[in-house]
Structure 1
Amino acid sequence: MKMVKDKQLLMGADFAGYPLKEEVKKYLEKKGWVIKDIGVQADSDPNDTELMFHRIGLRVGSMITEKEYERALIFCGTGMGIHIAASKCPGVHAGVVESVPAAFRAITGNGVNVLAMGAFYVTPELGKQIADAYLYNDFGSGWEWWPDFKRFHQIAIDELNAFDYKTYKENGFKVKHIDDCECRLYDRPENFSPVPLMVKRGND
Structure 2
Amino acid sequence: MKIGIGNDHVAVDYKEQIKQYIEEKYGYDVINFGTDSVERFNYPASGKAVAEAVIKGVVDKGILICGTGVGIGISANKVPRIRCVICSEPYSAKLSRQHNDTNVLSFGSRVIGIELAKMIVDEWLTTEYEGGRHQVRLDMISDME
Equivalence for 2:102: 112
**Secondary structure at 1:162 match in 2:** helix
TM-aligned CA deviation for residue 90 of structure 1: 0.8
Taking a change above 3 Å as real, the CA distance of residues 161 and 67 of structure 1, as seen in their structure-2 partners, is farther
Q: Which runs of 4+ in 1 moved over 6 A?
A: none
**How far apart, CA to CA, are the structure 2 residues paired with 1:21 and 1:106?**
21
**Secondary structure at 2:144 match in 1:** coil
**How far apart, CA to CA, are the structure 2 residues paired with 1:102 and 1:163?**
23
Q: Is structure 2 residue 55 aligned with structure 1 residue 65?
A: yes
TM-aligned CA deviation for residue 45 of structure 1: 6.8
Structure of higher CA gyration radius: 1
**How far apart, CA to CA, are the structure 2 residues paired with 1:36 and 1:72?**
9
Equivalence for 2:139: 158
**Secondary structure at 2:63 match in 1:** strand
How many residues are aligned here?
144
TM-score by length of 1: 0.66
Q: Is structure 2 residue 54 aligned with structure 1 residue 76?
A: no
For the Cα contact (< 8 Å) 2:5–2:32, is it kept in 1? yes
For the Cα contact (< 8 Å) 1:20–1:123, is it kept in 2? no
Instruction: Determine which structure has the larger helix proportion and give its number.
Output: 2
TM-aligned CA deviation for residue 87 of structure 1: 0.5
TM-score by length of 2: 0.91
**How far apart, CA to CA, are the structure 2 residues paired with 1:133 and 1:22?**
19
TM-aligned CA deviation for residue 54 of structure 1: 1.1
Instruction: Identify unmatched segments of 5+ residues in structure 2.
Output: none
**How far apart, CA to CA, are the structure 1 residues paired with 2:111 and 2:141?**
29
